[in-house]
Structure 1
């Protein structure tokens, strides 16, 4: 049997990472019916940090000796991670999982556009048009002012802004900075934020069902982190990156099976536009890289 190429291994890891993150989201969405927001984030965060320390010790590469410039970027990335976690989890609690996952698919477009505006990264007219069409697709998904509009979609859009800042910070870090270190610092920042939010807030007893869901969320989010780090070390990013859209398939499936949600036709149109424009952007970036 012929061995898989680096590109195919990277694509499989990307699909595994996306599946893990969506299953984590599904676990958190269910557990938030029984536990307050900050309590759920804190309990998952504590378990995540604990196991990430164990995994980083096993894999090696944990190194906090960073240059001052990188510490500034890591701090900014952690603050963005905290903001993204709060707004995303809040929106996830109130929105269909497929809808919020679809809104997040605009990230490649926002990262490309913001990178061009702030850092002068090249951006041709074709990708600019694709970005504008992609944003129109997001507005079709959100549809403000329409009956049945969920105002928590704004929380999802704010989460996109925070994740854009987080990803841009990661792109500007020195090449030698450990990915495990960055992930652990970000997870610790989320725990501190959740602990502050939980002080004086409501606490509910953790049932066996909630404990199992939190354990599942912890397992899946750590898997997502590990797979995503491994993905970046294999193959061509231009080939692998479009496989991130497999998260939508899982979100649609879990949304229907677990929560009984299915997007209407207009929302599916918006999802198709966002995915198509994101895939085109990856395609153009790959062409430019080859040149």
Structure 2
């Protein structure tokens, strides 16, 4: 059950690029505040239904710092990237985070950086480079969408760092994610007032996109993912996360936000194959575990 909930987070995250693109011209920090406000309501409703006391939020400062920086930083960068570059290209670069997690995990104590980690990294970087070159401007970041691509790269680095450092707090209950969402929404508001001009969704379709963002990929997904990786099969969930770039791009194409070009398809395949190759130890451990259980 826990693993299945974790899988549902991956499916919800595949909608993030589409819903962001459909949310209109709402500035990134304002969108952050709106979506995480809704995400907080999701968590508070779950706490109320399950009778969890508010004392669950009494956690060490390091837990709060990691959660708030991870959620606030990642989504502020993500929304800004999709406002500054085409949705398909920006989302694919942002989805380099599974590859970065694998590379970072390989350098933890007791692990080694092997050839398949390096080859996987090169494939992922090649895919990101192909996305940029596919516009016909080569790999130059002068003007155009260079800022958006750079923001997407920082986005991937932020989420991978957050995920790796979260391993230190495996015993922290998933209910604390509610507090992370609330803090992120509150931080986004003054930042929005300082740096942006308020722009509300222009029609019902854009409002629906914002609500769905807050309820699903920027809401429920964080809770079920946290629960899944702590109580389910984390190896399966880690490997499955590498499907996110392809799922996200497929959704964008199906809804007319991106064109099904050969360059885009090849880039998606390179990033996904690179991440899977870098994750070979996960698949080996999973296979060995199954063989042991069957014996």
TM-score, with length taken from structure 2: 0.79
Partner of 1:64: 57
SS in 2 for 1:203: coil
Structure 1 pair 102/198, CA: closer, same or farther in 2 (3 Å)?
closer
Structure 1 pair 49/146, CA: closer, same or farther in 2 (3 Å)?
closer
Report Cα offsets for 1:243-287 as digits up to 9, x if no partner.
Answer: 224433442333224344125323322221111121123332332
Q: Find the aligned partners of 1:126 and 1:147 in 2 and give their Cα distance.
A: 33
From 174, 178, 181, the counterpart of 2:173: 178
From 16, 27, 31, the counterpart of 1:40: 31
Partner of 2:151: 155
Aligned runs of 1:242-253 on 2, under 5 Å? Answer: 242-253=239-250
Structure 1 pair 91/190, CA: closer, same or farther in 2 (3 Å)?
same
CA contact (8 A) 1:56 1:180 kept: yes
- Number of residue equivalences: 277
CA contact (8 A) 2:73 2:158 kept: yes
Report Cα offsets for 1:110-154 as digits up to 9, x if no partner.
Answer: 123234446564333332332233223322223322899621111
Partner of 2:87: 97
Q: Find the aligned partners of 2:239 and 2:53 in 1 and give their Cα distance.
A: 28
Q: Find the aligned partners of 2:123 and 2:17 in 1 and give their Cα distance.
A: 27
Partner of 1:256: 253
Partner of 2:10: 18
Report Cα offsets for 1:186-238 as digits up to 9, x if no partner.
Answer: 21232122111222542235555133222221221323223323432565333
Structure 1 pair 123/258, CA: closer, same or farther in 2 (3 Å)?
same
Aligned runs of 1:221-232 on 2, under 5 Å? Answer: 221=217, 222-232=219-229
Partner of 1:132: 122
Partner of 1:3: none
Q: Does 1:238 align with 2:235?
A: yes
From 264, 267, 286, the counterpart of 1:267: 264
CA contact (8 A) 2:87 2:257 kept: no
Aligned alpha-carbon RMSD (Å): 3.0
SS in 1 for 2:14: helix
Q: Does 1:166 align with 2:157?
A: no
